[in-house]
Structure 1
């Protein structure tokens, strides 16, 4: 065999925890975290797909909040359709980061800390800090790109969307490639995984879609296909099914409209709807059907999230509106674009 036909050298195995994955293979393992009060071991479940040739290393994470189960399903769908023998680079999947919360059905950890406000953490800190520190050292610091999957919280649902630093060219390219119907320029929040990972040099996308404790089919499809688009954009996979989608609707800011009175809310808008300042978003009645309040839009924009809880208290956040310009015709165009992006994908 001459030099021209010689095979490239075999890629070095990927080692993490007690797992060693050869090039072109996949493996399942775990990263020990702690013990429950019963003495049972708690570990982060981990799956590694290690391609036979070099390329980027990408992490996929979900359930940083224990009640956000949709991301677990999204990662399952992605892994089911990835062939490690054809992968260029490495994919690290951590479908459940907050195992304690996931087991108890709780958004937070047993000490009531929010894991996504505890990064980069500390090896000798609180439970949240220790998990964050473990994730940073074992996952983030070994990756070039991360995609963190979330849903709405507190009985709220979100339009499938990417939140990222859209002023960073590399991040923006991946946000557009993801193909969600909407993307929001989101500032980094102290203590979040995204802020800590960005500071460590990674490019991070945060996906929001659906609601806690539900697997919303639209969000699952947009999320799983979006991840494949990002892997394709990074030249990690070949994908003949990548669709050319309309340009994502973009926003630089957003805000919630809150209930002025307590009662039972009837919603008049849905995800992806265009609204003008002063439009009626919801009507609030008392228990015998007397109207006590009408909620009005405080800005012109696009509905990207709303409450699913009909019982509301004064001050509750009910409708999330993204600013996409002040021109009503432009807003309608943006809403139509979001609808086209959603309808262009088969959610069956």
Structure 2
């Protein structure tokens, strides 16, 4: 499907010359009143031939950290392509964005609808339009996401590392944590990869926020990829460590209560260490939620209460006997980006030191 019959140079009747930057509005549908509905896109074309990369955000309309990162790139006049092409899409799901919603008006998930169908539902038609117009012109893709509602994610890249091209560009992006997975059926990245446009996602932060350290990380990573492809001049910035995660696990509460966390996003945990404590409204401890294994905290709930079965913490499982990343993390300088992100994301949750007595706490008996 990704035949590259469409090029970076020609968009309908609009011709983009080498070295030119053009703002476009790609109409994909119309409102009830008959007004056109369009996606805003900026296209940058380098002087010399080279790869075309698309960078998209807000496929889920409420995940706008990536929107903030792409807007920084758009407004950066020092970003001059020497070769190739760059397609910047700050908001894909404009209809969800305008409604503060993850979904389109027909309540379908755009990121489960690719490559779409030109004769299908509103969401399916939209997915097909984006796939043809953006993915169909691109050699690589970077899709920016956040955690879903009432959760936060520590920055991580997710990609199918069986593709050597994805190994190369995700390594260049420079994220400390890479989750090796192909993505769910119908997702943009999986469908794009199947159409020979290697695409990965960057997950970080919360919905409906533009968090400064998260956008800094995203911008740095995108620039790294452009440098690695010879598309802009500059030096790549390496992360303090890199690790590949093959398996993840959600840790869930067994007792209801208020949550006091003992870890933050990005922290390293060991098996049986305390992640959080639940307590009653009158302060009586009910449960110490423990880590089932060694790992790194990928994400956490931002809701200060939990009931049995609700997710509390998302772990990326790591064998700490073979991987010494905890030594690196424990010695982060205060101004290291990873430490600043950890501290910023921690402001959404209550973190306290575990009480040694609480290590023996178990759900209280019913009276």
On whether the aligned pair clears a TM of 0.5, the verdict is: yes
Residue aligning to 2:16: 21
The equivalences for 1:98-113 within 5 A come to 98-113=93-108
CA contact (8 A) 1:273 1:302 kept: yes
CA contact (8 A) 1:58 1:146 kept: yes
Residue aligning to 2:127: 132
Counterparts of 1:226 and 1:191 in 2: how far apart (Å)? 25
The equivalences for 1:1-348 within 5 A come to 14-81=9-76, 86-240=81-235, 242-327=236-321, 330=324, 332-333=326-327, 335-336=329-330, 339=332, 343=336
Once the two structures are superposed, what CA deviation does each residue of 1:171-220 show, in whole Å capped at 9, x if it has no partner?
A: 11111111112111123311100111001101112101111111122211
CA contact (8 A) 2:165 2:198 kept: yes
CA contact (8 A) 2:57 2:144 kept: yes
Give how far 1:232 is off: 0.5
CA 1:192 to 1:341, structure 2 compared with 1: closer, same or farther past 3 Å? Answer: farther
Counterparts of 1:23 and 1:148 in 2: how far apart (Å)? 25
CA 1:37 to 1:51, structure 2 compared with 1: closer, same or farther past 3 Å? Answer: same
Q: Unpaired runs of 5+ in structure 2?
A: 1-6, 342-367
CA contact (8 A) 2:58 2:91 kept: yes
Give how far 1:298 is off: 1.3
CA 1:149 to 1:82, structure 2 compared with 1: closer, same or farther past 3 Å? Answer: farther
**TM-score if structure 2 supplies the norm length?**
0.85
CA 1:284 to 1:171, structure 2 compared with 1: closer, same or farther past 3 Å? Answer: same
SS in 1 for 2:146: strand
CA 1:278 to 1:50, structure 2 compared with 1: closer, same or farther past 3 Å? Answer: same
Give how far 1:134 is off: 0.5
Q: Unpaired runs of 5+ in structure 1?
A: 1-11
Counterparts of 1:313 and 1:248 in 2: how far apart (Å)? 35
Q: How many residues align?
A: 335
Counterparts of 2:80 and 2:300 in 1: how far apart (Å)? 42
Once the two structures are superposed, what CA deviation does each residue of 1:143-164 show, in whole Å capped at 9, x if it has no partner?
A: 0000000001121111111111
**TM-score if structure 1 supplies the norm length?**
0.89
CA contact (8 A) 1:300 1:331 kept: no
Q: Once superposed, what is the RMSD of the aligned Cα atoms?
A: 2.3
CA 1:13 to 1:125, structure 2 compared with 1: closer, same or farther past 3 Å? Answer: closer
Counterparts of 1:235 and 1:57 in 2: how far apart (Å)? 12
Give how far 1:280 is off: 1.1
CA contact (8 A) 2:299 2:314 kept: yes
